[in-house]
Amino acid sequence: MCLTTGLSPRKKLPACRLEPTARNRDATPGSNNLIPPSGTFINRRHPMPRPIRTILQMFTIVAVLASGAWNLLTIDAHATTRNGLDDTGLMDNVHELGIRPDGKEVWAETLERHLVVVNIEDPNYPIVSEIHLPGFSSHPISELTFSPDSQYVYLTEALQCVYEPDCVNLGFGDLARVLVIDTTAKALAQAIPMEAPFTPTGSHAISPDGKYLYLTVADYGGQREGIYQLDLQSQAMVRFVEVPGANHISISPDGKSLYVTRGWDIHGPPANLFSVVDTTSLQVTSVPVGNQPMFAAVSADQKKAYISNYLGNSVSVVDLVLMQVKTTVDLIGRPDGIVLTPDGEKAYVAIVRDASGIGDYGPGTTVSVIDAEKDVYVKEIRVGIEPASLMIDPDGERVFVSDGNANGLQPAEFHVIDAVEGVYQRSVVLRKTAFYAPTGIDVSPNGSRIFVISEAQKSLLAIDPANDEIQAAFRVDPRAVKVSHDGQKVYVYSARYMPDGNGHFFVIDANSLQVLKSFDLGLITTHSPWDSIAYRIALNSSETTAYLAGGDGDEVIVVDLIHDTVVKKIWVGAADNHFIVPARGIAITPDDQKVFVSSCLAQNVSVIDTASNTIVATIPVDGCPSEVKITPDGRRVYVQRQAGTALMAILDAQALAMIKSVDFPPMVGGVLDFYLPDDELSVYAICFDPNWVMVFDLVETNEGKVIDATIRTRLDPFNAAITADKRLLFVTNFTSDSISVIDTSLNQVVDTIPIPLPSLQYLPFIQR
What is the pLDDT at residue 758?
Answer: 74
When pLDDT is cut at 50, 70 and 90, the band that residue 669 belongs to is: low
Query: SS3 of 273, please?
Result: strand
Rounded to 5 degrees, φ, ψ at 739 are: -130, 125
pLDDT of residue 236 exceeding 50: yes
Neighbours of 599 (CB within 10 A): 28
When pLDDT is cut at 50, 70 and 90, the band that residue 499 belongs to is: confident
Rounded to 5 degrees, φ, ψ at 79 are: -85, -15
What is the pLDDT at residue 331?
Answer: 96
Residue 211, Cβ density class (10 Å: 0-12 exposed, 13-18 middle, ≥19 buried)? middle
What is the pLDDT at residue 5?
Answer: 29
Helix (H) or strand (E) holding 522: strand 515-522
Q: State how far the Cα of 576 lies from the Cα of 578, in Å rounded to an integer.
A: 6
When pLDDT is cut at 50, 70 and 90, the band that residue 45 belongs to is: very low
Q: Which of 733, 766, 728 is nearest to 750 (CA)?
A: 728
What is the pLDDT at residue 167?
Answer: 52
What is the pLDDT at residue 23?
Answer: 23
pLDDT of residue 366 exceeding 50: yes
What is the pLDDT at residue 624?
Answer: 85
For residue 163, give the DSSP letter: G
Report percent pLDDT > 70 for the chain: 79
Residues with Cβ within 8 Å of 133's Cβ and at least 6 positions away in sequence, in order, are 113, 114, 115, 157, 179, 188
722 compared with 530, residue with greater pLDDT: 722
Q: What is the pLDDT of residues 81-101, one digit of tens each?
A: 223 334 544 677 888 999 999
When pLDDT is cut at 50, 70 and 90, the band that residue 20 belongs to is: very low
Q: Which of 41-55, 196-210, 743-757 has the lowest mean pLDDT?
A: 41-55
Find the farthest-apart pair of alpha carbons in the chain and give their distance in angstroms, rounded.
84
pLDDT of residue 235 exceeding 80: yes
Residues with Cβ within 8 Å of 653's Cβ and at least 6 positions away in sequence, in order, are 589, 594, 596, 630, 634, 635, 636, 637
What is the pLDDT at residue 670?
Answer: 78
Q: What is the pLDDT of residues 689-707, one digit of tens each?
A: 778 899 988 887 766 668 8
Q: Which of 218, 208, 289 is nearest to 36 (CA)?
A: 218
Q: Which amino acid is at 602?
A: A
When pLDDT is cut at 50, 70 and 90, the band that residue 574 belongs to is: low
Q: What is the mean pLDDT of residues 366-386?
A: 96
pLDDT of residue 342 exceeding 70: yes
741 compared with 60, residue with greater pLDDT: 741
Q: State how far the Cα of 295 lies from the Cα of 286, in Å rounded to an integer.
A: 15
Q: What is the DSSP string of 287-335?
A: EE-SSSEEEEEE-TTSSEEEEEETTTTEEEEEETTTTEEEEEEE-SSEE
pLDDT of residue 530 exceeding 50: no
What is the pLDDT at residue 46?
Answer: 42
β-bridge partners, 694: 685, 710
Q: Are 459 and 478 in contact (CB under 8 A)?
A: yes
18 compared with 448, residue with greater pLDDT: 448
pLDDT of residue 471 exceeding 60: yes
When pLDDT is cut at 50, 70 and 90, the band that residue 733 belongs to is: very high
Q: Which of 214, 189, 186 is nearest to 114 (CA)?
A: 186
Query: SS3 of 159, please?
Result: strand
Q: Which amino acid is at 457?
A: Q
What is the pLDDT at residue 751?
Answer: 96
Count the domains in the chain: 1
Q: Is residue 595 part of a domain?
A: yes
Q: State how far the Cα of 385 lies from the Cα of 233, in Å rounded to an integer.
A: 40
Q: Is residue 173 part of a domain?
A: no
What is the pLDDT at residue 710?
Answer: 85
pLDDT of residue 587 exceeding 70: yes
Q: Is residue 640 part of a domain?
A: yes
Q: Which amino acid is at 552?
A: D
Query: SS3 of 42, please?
Result: coil
Side by side, the strands of the sheet bearing 555-560 are: 537-539, 545-549, 555-560, 565-571
What is the pLDDT at residue 688?
Answer: 86
170 compared with 637, residue with greater pLDDT: 637
Q: What is the mean pLDDT of residues 349-353?
A: 94
Q: State how far the Cα of 152 lies from the Cα of 140, in Å rounded to an integer.
A: 21
Q: Which amino acid is at 344?
A: G
What is the pLDDT at residue 572?
Answer: 85
Q: State how far the Cα of 530 lies from the Cα of 56, in Å rounded to an integer.
A: 6
pLDDT of residue 310 exceeding 70: yes
Q: What is the mean pLDDT of residues 301-327?
A: 97
497 compared with 165, residue with greater pLDDT: 497
What is the pLDDT at residue 408?
Answer: 81
What is the pLDDT at residue 752?
Answer: 96
Q: Is residue 318 part of a domain?
A: no
Q: What is the mean pLDDT of residues 604-614?
A: 97
What is the pLDDT at residue 110?
Answer: 82
What is the pLDDT at residue 12?
Answer: 30
What range does the domain containing 594 cover? 528-663
Q: Is residue 485 part of a domain?
A: no
Q: State how far the Cα of 421 lies from the Cα of 413, in Å rounded to an integer.
A: 22
Q: Is residue 71 part of a domain?
A: no
Q: Which of 322-331, 545-554, 633-642 has the lowest mean pLDDT?
A: 545-554
pLDDT of residue 332 exceeding 70: yes
Confidence (pTM): 0.82
Q: What is the pLDDT of residues 534-547, one digit of tens each?
A: 789 999 999 999 99
How many residues belong to the chain? 768
Q: Which of 40-54, 265-279, 299-313 has the lowest mean pLDDT?
A: 40-54
Query: SS3 of 584, please?
Result: coil
647: domain CATH number? 2.130.10.10
740 compared with 160, residue with greater pLDDT: 740
When pLDDT is cut at 50, 70 and 90, the band that residue 2 belongs to is: very low
pLDDT of residue 9 exceeding 50: no
Mean residue pLDDT of the chain comes to 83
Q: Are 572 and 552 in contact (CB under 8 A)?
A: no
Q: What is the mean pLDDT of residues 125-154?
A: 86
What is the pLDDT at residue 759?
Answer: 57
Q: Are strands 70-74 and 657-662 parallel, antiparallel or unpaired?
A: unpaired
Q: What is the mean pLDDT of residues 273-296?
A: 97
Query: SS3 of 178, please?
Result: strand
pLDDT of residue 170 exceeding 80: no
When pLDDT is cut at 50, 70 and 90, the band that residue 497 belongs to is: confident
Instruction: State how far Cα 558 lies from the chain centre.
Output: 33
Report percent pLDDT > 90 for the chain: 63
Q: Is residue 222 part of a domain?
A: no
Q: Is residue 560 part of a domain?
A: yes
